[in-house]
Amino acid sequence: MATPQTRGNWSGRAGFILAAAGSAIGLGNIWRFPYSTAEGGGGLFVLIYVVFVLLIGLPVLLTELAVGRETGRNPVGAFKKLVPHSWWPAVGGLGVLTGFGILAFYSVIAGWTVGYLGMAVSGKLGAAVDGESSAAIFGSFVANPLWAIALSGLFLLLTVLVVRRGISGGIERLSMVLMPVLFFLLMALALRSVTLRGGLDGVAYLFTPDFSELSYRVIIGALGQALFSLSLGMGAMITYGSYMSKTENLWKAGGYVAMADTGIAILAGLIIFPALFFAQADVTAGPGLVFVVLPTIFNQMPLGLIVAISFFALLTIAALTSTVSLMEVCTAYFVDERGWPRKNATAVIGAGCFLLAVPSALAFGAVSGLSEGGWFTWDFLTLNNNIWGNYSLSIGAFLICVCAAWKWGVPRLLEALEGVAPRYPIPMRGVLTFMIKFICPLAVLLVLIFIVVTGEYF
């Protein structure tokens, strides 16, 4: 069994925050958030998403971190320690499986970012002058299944190379420099985008809720997005918390991570939607949205080529700090519970994930290509995205809340949250207690029940 010495640790608070923010900030913010917003009708989706981040995301984030630090284990081991001799470790098992499932489609999209980086460097993206020409470039890119498969394989390989080096030497080092650079580049892009002709219409679209759009689909989508974006509901933050020292105050660390993640998602929206209105591209472009819209604004900017190259390079890195966290959950399971050497675990997970990534890479490109340029609504990538990225995370978050609040107990949770750091003000503790005992599990449960009753699955 792995000891704390052999498992590894973050070097300190900054290292943890950057790595956890690195996990949270990724394609979920820049690729998934904009197109989910478009599918959810704009401002209303954003509003519900932000409410879910505050009401559910932040409390669940704090809970996962506390459970992880207290137990010092992967999700399965953590539940074994919290509630010995019970079926609760199965919740951790579902988490490990979910990490695997998400990684298998996430790496396909991450592969697209690498492909776009290549096209930016070779100057091919220069031809994307408006919505139509850009959509054509995207269409022919994803319709080539060999590229999609090779690039997602490459991405999984990169992920393996980082995760096998361990916690502070691999994961932490990667996030330290690159997250701040990403932020400044996004700020610059948002400024350019909102000042484009028609840009303010995009800002209005993002911030004006239209309540006639309300549906269960919008609500489950926003819940899934809040959980997905914060890397919650499957034990990624349990795992990251398990490498953290007892002297840190988790309230603050968790707060910073949630703030950074939500801020960057909004920033990405401020880039995409103004540009979308400017380029008059199709709002319902689905998973291709970002890839179609962004190149058109790069081509409207001074130094657009350099911006395009740096943007896709950084997006690739942001994706990598997230795939690394997904793989780390599965790796920690094999290291802690099965006693495998880390290097073997990463190799096996990487290879297994690649096999599962192939149908996602194929389905999206080949099938949608066959349907004469129209998007096939039922493809393997979207299916995986919904099953693992919405439903499984929601079920996981519900069970994690119930276990921590009702089996383990809120007093122990609060103590674990503070570690040996000073106590937090009473009102904050009260709010969290109320949220984690009642609001979070009830809200998630209601959403899940409505989904089943109304049959609005996807």
- Among all residues, whose Cβ is closest to ligand TRP? 28
Q: HSE (CB half, 13 Å, CA atoms) of 250?
A: 32
Range 265-324, binding ligand TRP (CB under 6 A): 322
Q: Tell me the residue type at 201.
A: D
> What span, in angstroms and rounded, lies between the C-alpha atoms of 385 and 360?
10
Q: Which stretch binds ligand TRP (CB under 6 A): 25-33, 45-53, 184-192, 429-437?
A: 25-33
Range 377-396, binding ligand TRP (CB under 6 A): 393
Counting contacts by CB under 6 A, is residue 327 touching ligand TRP? no
> What binding mask, one character per residue, do residues 68-107 give for ligand TRP by CB under 6 A, x or -?
----------------------------------x-----
Among 9, 23, 152, 175, binds ligand TRP (CB under 6 A): 23
Least CB distance from residue 101 to ligand TRP, whole Å? 10
Count of beta carbons in the 10 Å neighbourhood of residue 266? 17
Least CB distance from residue 215 to ligand TRP, whole Å? 23
Q: Where are the alpha helices (DSSP H) in 299-439?
A: 304-338, 342-362, 368-370, 380-386, 393-402, 410-418, 426-434
**Distances from the Cα of 179 to the Cα of 261, 315, 430, angstroms:** 11, 10, 33
Q: 389, exposed or middle or buried, with CB in 10 Å at 0-12, 13-18, 19+?
A: buried
Residue 431: strand, helix, or coil: helix
**Closer by beta carbon to ligand TRP, 105 or else 278:** 105
Q: Contact at 8 Å (CB) between 60 and 410?
A: no
Among 37, 152, 325, 368, binds ligand TRP (CB under 6 A): 325
Least CB distance from residue 28 to ligand TRP, whole Å? 2
Counting contacts by CB under 6 A, is residue 26 touching ligand TRP? yes
> What span, in angstroms and rounded, lies between the C-alpha atoms of 108 and 151?
7
Q: What angle do CA 413, 417, 420 make, to 5 degrees?
A: 120
Among 2, 21, 24, 290, binds ligand TRP (CB under 6 A): 24
Counting contacts by CB under 6 A, is residue 37 touching ligand TRP? no
> What span, in angstroms and rounded, lies between the C-alpha atoms of 150 and 162?
19
State the residue for tokens 């130094």: 303
Size of the site for ligand TRP (CB under 6 A): 16
Count of beta carbons in the 10 Å neighbourhood of residue 171? 27
Range 195-254, binding ligand TRP (CB under 6 A): 228-229, 231, 234, 236
Counting contacts by CB under 6 A, is residue 447 touching ligand TRP? no
**Closer by beta carbon to ligand TRP, 107 or else 231:** 231
Least CB distance from residue 263 to ligand TRP, whole Å? 13
The residue ranges that bind ligand TRP (CB under 6 A) are 23-24, 26-29, 102, 228-229, 231, 234, 236, 322, 325-326, 393
